[in-house]
Structure 1
Amino acid sequence: MKEREVSTGSPLILGATVHKDGVNFAIYSHHAEAVALAIFAKAQDYEPRERYQLDPTLNRTGDVWHIFVHDLPLGAFYGYYIDGIHQPQLGHRFDSSLLLLDPYARAVTGSFEWDFFTKEKRPKSIVYEDTFDWQGDRPIHYPLQDSVIYEVHLKGLSHTAGKSYAGTYLGVIEMIPYFKELGITSVEFLPLMEFDDMEYAQNGSEEHPLRNYWGYSTMSFFAPKARYAVGSRDGDQVIEFKTMVRELHKAGIEVIMDVVYNHTHEGNEHGPVVSFKGIDNSVYYMLYEDKRYYWNYAGTGNTTHCYAQVMTNLIIDSLRYWVVEMHVDGFRFDLATILSRDSRGYILDNPPLLRSIMEDPVLQKVKMIAEPWDAGGGYQVGHFPGKNFAEWNDRYRDDVRRYWRNDYDMAAAFATRVAGSHDLYGASGKRPYLSINYVTAHDGFTLHDLVSYSHKYNYANGQNNTDGTDNNLSWNSGVEGESSDPNILKFRKQRMKNFLATLFLSQGTPMMLGGDEFGRTQYGNNNTYCQDNELSWFDWQLAKSEESDLMRFTKELIHFRRRHNVFGRKEFFKGYVPAGGTKPDIIWFGCDGHQYKWHKQDNALGVRYSGEREATGLSSESEDVMILFNPTHESKTFYFPLTSDKMRWKLKIDTGLPSPRDILPEGVYEELVDPYSYTLMPHSLAVLICFPQ
């Protein structure tokens, strides 16, 4: 085909920018010696239909190569061939024979299986722009202290739900009634940026195929995952992603994306050349002094050079795009400590990338959640840079697990976590709601498995059970693995309720793992990153069978938290009577009703939250709430702490009681036999609400 008219183009906006008379292409490369833009007729074509060699004297401004192609239609497939020296020992891996993805591509061809180690089956970038009707959609901006986060894999959520669009963006829309009934405010999706789901295919077998299920191996930081779309046309993924967000917003549900900016799909020196390696390897990645090798702070082969200005710009541009164009409400940053590292790998107190995110006028009100550690030993829980960054609190997870396992002398640590982890966040000036509390997450045991397995069983992953953590802090409740013993099943369900109740009754922002509300199991596999099958997908038949018990308990629990002002505090407890108040904002006590003697009593523990406006900082009064915890193997009678006010306590929750008495519906309470004490069964938790006498 005859080539189109071209002109110099502009370096101002990277990527493919659509204009009324054509498309402007711009790409950064400092060390490239030659750049060619290739246009393809079809997604699977090997040879380009058009090829435009960029003249460095005309089509290069600084380190940005650019060209304007006239009359190029939307939906055109394109990529780059970039040439330069190929000297890996100097950090340069140019190969002009390989088609490269545009780092700023808005969509990537996903209609066939790629092969990055050949020249024939490589994905193409897509020239994309749409006129999507957002129907007036605006960001929701729930305060974190009012949020309930539900972490879930988009495909696994609805793949077996029997819905019309199961396992897709549109399939999520079909799950909205379920989300509303459950009571969550925000859905946190595992990675939705484009990745190669066949990445681990060579590690599996015909009987046990392995695929990249989780998606923590980003290929393109602007492109939504194509295979999660129903439509077969390249680019449909963008429209369907936006449709999903719009409909979730209509239902009052936020969208938080798990984003992976710390490494890419290209891996180490043995990995494929997909994009950054072939564009300017030594700029985009952190390399050893022998520049053939990559720093591996992510544990996956490479580490992006987030201290470099070009990478900082790309990440900021990507975040802005997802917020402005895709209406995403927040981000959870995978292995976020890497974003704090400088060019030599040292962790900085005030890294430029994180400072830029916090100061960016577009991003300031967006939820930012850090996984504040990395695979290189970096650990920043409690002091992750950026006062507005929330943090995954793994100390909460571990201490709560140890406490409910009744490990020795855990009451003090447990109480600290339940009260918002002041020891971690107080000194840095962060608020309690910036602690993202969780007991389970995608990485590790499900809640069912936490109470059913004392050891991991990851043999299906093909690594002889060596992958995944061994530090699960789990307890099988007396029998390892699946059981049909009704007593074991009852005990396990009671323990799951303890964990759920602790999570939603703690100060901080709760995040629950999707499926825990009905006891989803992975049969002891705590690392299902490569299991795109029934092991990872939601079993909705199980959910239906549990509807009257664990599901009901979780729904009532979430709604109970959202109705009561004593949870989700903006400030840490003081432990004394606030000005204008009549009682301490919090009281920790033992079974005798007196102040708890830390490190001198067993783990049985009680707490009373004051609902006075002086204590909560809110404009309206709320009921006092008392929570009793008993992780021990024997029943405990708690005597209530005496205060100057005359109050009558009524029972709301007791995980030791059978359903439906385990949690009573809104407005329903149970009178106590003894108004001054309550006996709690072993391994159980109770919540009491106060009423004036």
Structure 2
Amino acid sequence: MERIDIHPTHAYESFKLRLGRPQPFGATIVPGGVNFSIFSSHATSCSLVLFKKHAKAPLAEIPFPDEFRIGNVYCMVVFDLDYENLEYGYRMDGPNNFQQGHWFDPSKILLDPYAKIIGGRDVWGVIPDWEDIYHHRGRIAFDDFDWGNDRPLEIPPEDQIIYEMHVRSFTRHESSGIKETHRGTFAGIRDKIPYLKELGVNAVELMPVYEFDEFENSRPNPQTGETLYNYWGYSTVGFFAPKAGYAATGKFGMQVDELKNLVKELHKHGIEVILDVVFNHTAEGNERGPTISFRGIDNKTYYMMTPEGYYFNFSGCGNTINCNNPIVRNIVLDCLRYWAAEYHIDGFRFDLASILGRDPWGYPLANPPLLESLAFDPILAKCKLIAEAWDAGGLYQVGSFPAYGRWAEWNGKYRDGIRKFLKGDGTVGQIAQCLQGSPDLYAWAGRAPATSINFITAHDGFTLMDLVSYNHKHNEANGENNNDGSNDNDSWNCGWEGETDDVAINALRRRQIKNAIAMLMVSQGVPMLLMGDEVGRTQNGNNNTYCHDNELSWLDWHLQTKNPDILEFVKHCIAFRRSHPVLRNPNHFRNQDYVGSGYADITWHGTKAWNADWSEGNRVIAFMLCGKHAKGGTVEDNYIYVAMNMHWQTQWFELPSLPQSLQWHIFANTGAIFSSSHLPGTEPMLDDQSGLLVGDRSVVILVGK
């Protein structure tokens, strides 16, 4: 066995040093000291800058001796450090030539890209000292967290029900009922696990939890004067460090343990954790942005550059990470492996993932090496990988994202199809594809229905209540003259723009919300619910609340008592989906009977049984699932019949006959005056087994048993 020599060989002032190890990158505790390792292919010199925690002036600056450079890696062990009370950064010198893409500036102190803990924004919203020479401070991590027997849950993708949330928004509102110090934090989510369990979801997708600067592009609200923040956090400062401002214990530097405790507790209750990750750009922005880390370490390596030295901007945020450079590819892999191994994360959703498939000049690659590496990485083998399969540069790859048999996709075409059908547009042919897990997009390539992450609303866009309450976006509070946010919302206000006291309009809106939830939960694929849609949360028509740390973004828990019927309906629909494996098939329907039941796995109907009307302009469709084909015939389930009438008039639907001894029972009827849904297993029998009236703009779900 190789003997590790831990004796110092060099000294600088009072510090004892020796040549370090180039791997792993970052600051790593070793016997007697800390190993510091950082890469730069173009720097001519590097110094380690040490601070006492929170101190403005450096404690020391230690130049790396020339012999402490191995290849393009500066690596050094510094002995006898009180690392729990230290912060660190780097100064680098080298060429500074805009056209060549080099931005070295030894006056800047640079954040370690591999920093596992970052200080400087320890408490959310506390105005920083702008005179501080080093705003985002690397800290040295000592991990003694006890995971016990916890491990990632590995829930089959088709069985997932995802709940997308913003960490701060979920519990920040005073109505959350948790203690004030926990509001808007990882601890706050932990306090609300009973709510998530009762709702029935089994995965939470957290909007970015990496360290970011909420004061990036902060400015006064033109309407109220309050501060507008970089609230969503899609502007990463450090990829390996959880955001201190999201931790109740962040001011004590305990954000790592608080997030790990949350993951452990969610797993204990059968709920997976998916992180929304942003590898398409960083907080350094364009040519006028700040130098925080990558720009000063090796700008030309980490970013896509034009021949003139400017940043390509396929992210819409000023710069684009050069993901298919081998060095950058490795940092992405290292980051995801770290979160999977050290935080037990179950999956990752990749923001603007199409960027990850571009070459250094922005052209789409046929076989992007980063996407392939992620798909086949042994440490990530059981992690869910979910792509937002488009970018701000116009590359739209829903249905064609390079998958390597592993990648799922946020299905924007599902969103658009359901929204159009909901308001009476679109075609029944399109909606039929959506309900089947989009075989038109995925079956041809051998990709499973769970490839499709089905969503009608997400953080980016209208909430479900606003989708049925506004024809147009109302983003004036963002201070951008209502020019930001999408104009293509496929929304319908049901006859009045915004809030109203009109009883009929409000009843129609509630029905439309329930219609949307019903369609989502009976669709093959993986349903994703937006935080607060289950209680009718509104953003007052704002479809881009990226900058609002206020009630526009926060979940108002009073809505549980204001809209109890919506909440009950969502709970019942989730429970119904979880009770019926025929709604969660791992493979696409064959449209044939392959188990000898006398019925095809899926059959299509209209107002006449067995006779669907596929004509353009038709707003009526129904389908039946044969329970004997559930999970490819490996398990047996009930028969499920779903009738959707998006016409403005009531329609009589003739029902398909069931096998002898089975009867139709009614699970849900969004057009019912009284209770519109039942707990699975308590569905009353339908009085008339030959057919039923389906109200205007209504959905009915029956169970054959």
Deviations 1:621-646 (A, max 9, x none): 11110000001100000112357756
> CA–CA distance in 2 between the matches of 1:572 and 1:482?
41
**1:55 CA drift (Å):** 1.8
> CA–CA distance in 2 between the matches of 1:103 and 1:326?
18
Amino acid in the other structure paired with 1:170: A
Amino acid in the other structure paired with 2:498: G
Q: Report what 2:693 is aligned to.
A: 679
State, as a whole percentage, how many aligned pairs show the same letter.
43
Q: How does 1:116-131 map to 2 (within 5 A)?
A: 120=133, 122-131=135-144
Query: Which of residues 458, 461, 468 in structure 2 aligns to 1:451?
Result: 468
Q: Is contact 1:588–1:608 with CA below 8 Å preserved after alignment?
A: yes
**1:619 CA drift (Å):** 2.9
Amino acid in the other structure paired with 2:37: A
Q: Do structure 1's residue 68 and structure 2's residue 113 form an aligned pair?
A: no
Q: Report what 1:463 is aligned to.
A: 480
> CA–CA distance in 1 between the matches of 2:376 and 2:155?
20
**1:487 CA drift (Å):** 1.8
Amino acid in the other structure paired with 2:183: A
Query: Which of residues 671, 674, 694 in structure 2 aligns to 1:656?
Result: 671
**1:232 CA drift (Å):** 4.7
> CA–CA distance in 1 between the matches of 2:362 and 2:168?
35
Deviations 1:108-150 (A, max 9, x none): 0023767798553522100111201112211101011111000
Partner of 2:227, secondary structure, is coil
Q: Report what 1:89 is aligned to.
A: 99
> CA–CA distance in 1 between the matches of 2:591 and 2:130?
62
Q: Is contact 2:595–2:628 with CA below 8 Å preserved after alignment?
A: no
**1:200 CA drift (Å):** 2.3
Scaled by the length of structure 2, what TM-score is found? 0.95
**1:208 CA drift (Å):** 3.0
> CA–CA distance in 1 between the matches of 2:459 and 2:682?
35
> CA–CA distance in 2 between the matches of 1:646 and 1:640?
16
Deviations 1:311-332 (A, max 9, x none): 0000000000001111111100
Seen in structure 2, the aligned counterparts of structure 1 residues 630 and 122 have a Cα distance that, compared at 3 Å, is same
Q: How does 1:386-535 map to 2 (within 5 A)?
A: 386=403, 387-407=405-425, 410-535=427-552
Q: Report what 2:5 is aligned to.
A: none
Partner of 1:26, secondary structure, is strand
Amino acid in the other structure paired with 2:279: Y
Seen in structure 2, the aligned counterparts of structure 1 residues 670 and 537 have a Cα distance that, compared at 3 Å, is same
**1:689 CA drift (Å):** 1.0
Query: Which of residues 617, 634, 637 in structure 2 aligns to 1:619?
Result: 634
Query: Which of residues 236, 240, 243 in structure 2 aligns to 1:218?
Result: 236
Q: Is contact 1:382–1:428 with CA below 8 Å preserved after alignment?
A: no
Q: Is contact 2:114–2:239 with CA below 8 Å preserved after alignment?
A: yes
**1:672 CA drift (Å):** 2.4
Deviations 1:322-364 (A, max 9, x none): 0111111110000000111111211112111111111111001
Q: Report what 1:294 is aligned to.
A: 311
Scaled by the length of structure 1, what TM-score is found? 0.96
Query: Which of residues 296, 308, 312 in structure 1 aligns to 2:329?
Result: 312
**1:252 CA drift (Å):** 1.1
**1:647 CA drift (Å):** 3.8
> CA–CA distance in 2 between the matches of 1:633 and 1:232?
53
Amino acid in the other structure paired with 2:506: L
Q: Report what 1:10 is aligned to.
A: 21
RMSD value, Cα = 1.6
Amino acid in the other structure paired with 2:95: I
Partner of 1:540, secondary structure, is coil
**1:659 CA drift (Å):** 4.0
Q: Report what 2:159 is aligned to.
A: 146
Seen in structure 2, the aligned counterparts of structure 1 residues 557 and 299 have a Cα distance that, compared at 3 Å, is same
Query: Which of residues 289, 313, 318 in structure 2 aligns to 1:271?
Result: 289
Q: Is contact 1:15–1:102 with CA below 8 Å preserved after alignment?
A: yes
Q: Is contact 1:152–1:187 with CA below 8 Å preserved after alignment?
A: yes
> CA–CA distance in 1 between the matches of 2:558 and 2:638?
38
Seen in structure 2, the aligned counterparts of structure 1 residues 321 and 173 have a Cα distance that, compared at 3 Å, is same
Q: Report what 2:191 is aligned to.
A: 174
Q: Report what 1:105 is aligned to.
A: 115
Q: Report what 1:23 is aligned to.
A: 34
Q: Do structure 1's residue 354 and structure 2's residue 371 form an aligned pair?
A: yes
Q: Is contact 1:268–1:302 with CA below 8 Å preserved after alignment?
A: yes
**1:254 CA drift (Å):** 0.8
> CA–CA distance in 2 between the matches of 1:448 and 1:236?
37
> CA–CA distance in 1 between the matches of 2:242 and 2:354?
24
Deviations 1:241-270 (A, max 9, x none): 111111111111111100001100000001
Seen in structure 2, the aligned counterparts of structure 1 residues 233 and 454 have a Cα distance that, compared at 3 Å, is closer
Amino acid in the other structure paired with 1:163: I
Query: Which of residues 593, 608, 619 in structure 2 aligns to 1:577?
Result: 593
Seen in structure 2, the aligned counterparts of structure 1 residues 616 and 252 have a Cα distance that, compared at 3 Å, is closer
Q: Is contact 2:657–2:690 with CA below 8 Å preserved after alignment?
A: no
Q: Is contact 1:587–1:595 with CA below 8 Å preserved after alignment?
A: no
Q: Is contact 1:126–1:235 with CA below 8 Å preserved after alignment?
A: no
Q: How does 1:342-381 map to 2 (within 5 A)?
A: 342-381=359-398
Q: Report what 1:609 is aligned to.
A: 625
Higher deviation after alignment, 199-208 or 435-444: 199-208
Q: Is contact 1:208–1:460 with CA below 8 Å preserved after alignment?
A: no
**1:10 CA drift (Å):** 1.1
Partner of 2:337, secondary structure, is helix
Partner of 2:118, secondary structure, is coil
Paired residues, number = 684
Query: Which of residues 598, 608, 622 in structure 1 aligns to 2:614?
Result: 598
Q: Do structure 1's residue 557 and structure 2's residue 573 form an aligned pair?
A: yes
**1:667 CA drift (Å):** 1.9
Amino acid in the other structure paired with 2:45: A
Q: Is contact 2:95–2:104 with CA below 8 Å preserved after alignment?
A: yes
> CA–CA distance in 1 between the matches of 2:476 and 2:643?
40
Q: Is contact 1:114–1:123 with CA below 8 Å preserved after alignment?
A: no
Deviations 1:89-112 (A, max 9, x none): 110011101111000000100237
Amino acid in the other structure paired with 1:633: W
Q: Is contact 1:116–1:273 with CA below 8 Å preserved after alignment?
A: no
> CA–CA distance in 2 between the matches of 1:158 and 1:643?
47
Query: Which of residues 401, 405, 427 in structure 2 aligns to 1:384?
Result: 401
Higher deviation after alignment, 7-16 or 593-602: 593-602
Amino acid in the other structure paired with 1:134: W
Partner of 1:90, secondary structure, is coil
> CA–CA distance in 2 between the matches of 1:672 and 1:233?
59
Q: Is contact 1:576–1:584 with CA below 8 Å preserved after alignment?
A: yes
